Amino acid sequence: MQVMLLGRSLEERAKLKASSDMNELLSLISTQSRLVITSSDNNTAADSVLSPDSICINVPVDEIRAGDSLLVLPGETFPVDGSVLAGRSVVDESMLTGESLPVFKEEGCSVSAGTINWDGPLRIKASSTGSNSTISKIVRMVEDAQGNAAPVQRLADAIAGPFVYTIMSLSAVTFAFWYYVGSHIFPDVLLNDIAGPDGDPLALSLKLAVDVLVVSCPCALGLATPTAILIGTSLGAKRGYLIRGGDVLERLASIDYVALDKTGTLTEGRPVVSGVASLRYEEQEVLKLAAAVEKTATHPIAKAIVNEADALNLETPETRGQLTEPGFGTLAEIDGRLVAVGALEWVSRRFQKKKDSSDVVKLESYLDNKLSSTSSTSRYSKTVVYVGREGEGIIGAIAISDCLRQDAEFTVARLQEKGIKTVLLSGDREGAVATVAKSVGIESKSTNYSLSPEKKLEFISNLQSSGHRVAMVGDGINDAPSLAQADVGIALKIEAQENAASNAASVILVRNKLSHVVDALSLAQATMSKVYQNLAWAIAYNVISIPIAAGVLLPQYDFAMTPSLSGGLMALSSIFVVSNSLLLQLHKSETSGNS
């Protein structure tokens, strides 16, 4: 019973910590903001972020009101929800939409608190602040979903409580029956050794009553669940998936739907260079020029290009006069000539020589053929940046993609083999989501795109209302409400910024392997199988042994248990339960050779 109480207290402690840690989401929002103050009769030009007479004052975010004008510099997070008044930049919205590539923002575009401004300064008009901001709503949705989780029915606990009082009552009934009734109806029972040399009905009744007390085994009932749960959770931890409590294992074992996020779950979640094309130069030459231009830029596409050049040990040439135009590209001088990297139209306009449409078509065709011929499944969420040089125009193109995880297709196929239906829930655009779904084997009717965190939560809630047991697999803040709402939330642990997903989830894949979803399901099913075996044994043992201990075989077969035999059987019953649970350690991982 002490083991049960210890396990219960640890589970409650984990749940309380998971709920309170959701407040760490709010730390993503800056506590300070730059309030822009201008004269009332001044109209700032549309292409100017600040007017000459504007001043910026640092004020706490709590003091910002709807309608206030704020300045957000590159590298900063947006302190409030709002709309862009002036400036152009690209914004990392992965924490809300899951899209790994940055989104271009200009006048009139909406921005959300907690997202990151990458390139240029933006002046925004606050629309929602404090508890009304998008990220605050996510926190509330997570807390509400956690609070509405259905309690697990603990069969062993329900039986073990009344069991003791029932046995005491049966023992008293046994004594009364044999002392007042049984010894008179069946006088031959007094000849049994259990009645003593004098055939004393009092000795007979006392020994049979004690046999009932001793042979009954509430310990087996009490140990049936916690021993299997303890071994199952510890085995999972050793293999890299942390399972928060026995109730999670019970729900996980009965899952019939698995909802999967796209970016960071089925895909790696970070942009990488997936292809380089050039009609006149070596691919490495184009990559060297692009990496040199993008070396001091901070946005994800620039980092992907620089990382690829570093991985190939390419020496990048020196640059001068670097200039970045937010949302379009970067320009720098290399060996006396300007080199531009960015969007096609923007790069073409940088130079007098106009783009040759046939060359562009050839570059794109070459990239598509190259990506389709690779086995790296790296053509998803693809973005193409172009490289141009003064006097030559477009000289090459670089494809930036979010690669599919190596074990994504295997994981989906294995889940489907188990009879578990898989659905894809993503905030990304339709084309990228459909491509990933097709590649991993998820049907188009089970593919959902452009979903906000609220829509994901609503989708899972609808499945639950239809009687399904749903597991949600995600990795980002935008998945946190869905992870909390699902019967079982499974989070891939990638970066510290994504603690929100881990805090909302009840299973954490600490080794960041998607295939561990299959292992966790298999382990949960094996663990619950042991729990049911233990419960079946404990109940069957008591149903058979208690009547025998009460003397049901004594009149016809002259057989009665002794207190020492009863004690031995009781101990063996507990040993069987513990030993059967220990066999769970022999459970094999289903994906050890395929991860």
Catalytic positions are 261
The residues that bridge with 91 in the sheet, in sequence order, are 103, 117
Give the separation between CA 212 and CA 48, rounded to whole angstroms.
Answer: 90
Please report where in the chains the tokens 């060996």 appear, as a residue. Answer: 335
Contact 241, 506 (CB under 8 A): no
* Residue 262: exposure state from Cβ atoms within 10 A (0-12, 13-18, ≥19): buried
Buried b (16+ CB within 10 A) or exposed e, 51-86: eeebebeeeebeebeeebbbbbebebbbbbbbebbb
Give the separation between CA 414 and CA 505, rounded to whole angstroms.
Answer: 22
Please report where in the chains the tokens 């084309």 appear, as a residue. Answer: 431
H-only helix segments in 148-217: 155-176, 183-185, 201-215
Give the separation between CA 71 and CA 200, rounded to whole angstroms.
Answer: 97
Give the separation between CA 378 and CA 272, rounded to whole angstroms.
Answer: 9
Backbone angles phi and psi of 50, in degrees to 5: -130, 145
- Single-letter residue type at 151: P
Give the separation between CA 572 and CA 260, rounded to whole angstroms.
Answer: 46
Contact 307, 272 (CB under 8 A): yes
Q: Which two tokens stand for residue 489?
A: 């939330």
Please report where in the chains the tokens 């005491």 appear, as a residue. Answer: 168
Numbers of helices and strands, H then E, in the chain:
20, 22
* Residue 41: exposure state from Cβ atoms within 10 A (0-12, 13-18, ≥19): exposed
Residue among 217, 204, 322, 266 at smallest CA distance from 513 = 266
Contact 213, 175 (CB under 8 A): no
**What is the maximum span of the chain, computed from C-alpha positions, in angstroms?**
122
Please report where in the chains the tokens 């970067």 appear, as a residue. Answer: 330
CA distances from 513 to 78, 330, 407, 432, 517 (A): 32, 36, 8, 22, 8
Give the separation between CA 97 and CA 207, rounded to whole angstroms.
Answer: 71
Q: With the CA atoms of 193, 198, 199 and 200 taken in that order, what torsion angle do they form, in degrees rounded to the nearest 10?
A: -110
Contact 45, 85 (CB under 8 A): no
